[in-house]
Amino acid sequence: MTDKVLGVLGGMGPLASAHFMTRLTLLTPAARDQDHVPAILWSDPRVPDRTRGRLDGAEDPLPWLLRGVRGLRQAGCGAIAIPCNTAHGWFDELAAEGLPVLHIVDAAAADLRAVLPRGVVGIMGTPATLAMRLYQERLERMGWTCIAPTASEMRELVSPAIAMVKMNRVAEAYAPLADVVLALAARGAGAVVLGCTEIPLGIQAGPWEGLGVKVVDSIDALARVAIDWAKS
């Protein structure tokens, strides 16, 4: 299909990165091995916690992120996909390394446009993703109105569920995440963006299609953009 090699800056968390690689493969129109996207996964779970680094003054993850981007560039990659939403808080510094970085929020916006061209959209993500307004600023410029979980929903439901996925307790994450999806819909959201790459794993561990709420999976959105880049 292409001589372009995609670099995947992963490990944040490891399961989300592995799932991204699976979705990259399954979403690619292919009849044989050679039709798939050449990709190199840099999965380094030692990258310091992005939320704590941004909100609590803990260890800065940027040097670790730069190390991964430079390693992927040295390996011959032509663009970078980062299946971690919060890591996009350092997008400008990573893009300054000289490789195109496929922005996960722009990817999600493309998928969102297909299910909700305008209106109110719920945003789920880590506390840092929401505090940095990674989704809100970009989506509001495109014409959507964004709402987020309440502080108590984040503290009692979303953050614990993200942690459960990172602990490989994926099935346990479904119920709290589903409660928040329904709560956002009850407050007027016509669709909900799953803006943390652990959240789609938790939601999809249960009967999410029965929720009756349109959701945008940031992992699938990024995979589709990566495939488009490879084909172009």
Residue 210: C-alpha distances to residues 172, 203, 217 (Å):
17, 11, 16
> What is the CA 87 to chain-centroid distance, rounded?
9
State the pLDDT at residue 3.
Answer: 77
Number of folded domains in the chain? 2
118 and 203, same domain (yes or no)? yes
DSSP strands (E only) in the chain: 6-10, 39-43, 79-81, 101-102, 119-124, 144-147, 191-194, 214-217
Give the angle 125-202-107 at the CA atoms, nearest 5°: 50
State the pLDDT at residue 112.
Answer: 98
Q: Which two tokens stand for residue 86?
A: 């919060």
74 and 127, same domain (yes or no)? no
Q: Which domain holds residue 45?
A: 6-103+221-231
Domain CATH for 66: 3.40.50.1860
15 and 80, same domain (yes or no)? yes
For strands 191-194 and 214-217, give the pairing. parallel
Answer for the pair 221, 200: CB distance below 8 angstroms, yes or no.
Answer: no
- Three-state DSSP class for 125? coil
- Asked if residue 42 belongs to a domain, the reply is yes
127 and 201, same domain (yes or no)? yes
Q: Which two tokens stand for residue 207?
A: 């009967």
State the pLDDT at residue 185.
Answer: 98
State the pLDDT at residue 2.
Answer: 58
176 and 195, same domain (yes or no)? yes
Question: Whole-structure pTM over 0.95, yes or no?
Answer: yes
- Asked if residue 1 belongs to a domain, the reply is no
- Asked if residue 165 belongs to a domain, the reply is yes
The pLDDT averaged over each successive group of 10 residues in the chain (232 residues) is 86 98 98 96 98 96 98 97 98 97 98 98 98 98 98 98 98 98 98 98 96 97 98 91
111 and 99, same domain (yes or no)? no
- Asked if residue 119 belongs to a domain, the reply is yes
Radius of gyration of the chain (CA): 17
135 and 58, same domain (yes or no)? no
State the pLDDT at residue 86.
Answer: 98
Helices 170-186 and 159-166, axial angle in degrees (round to 10):
150
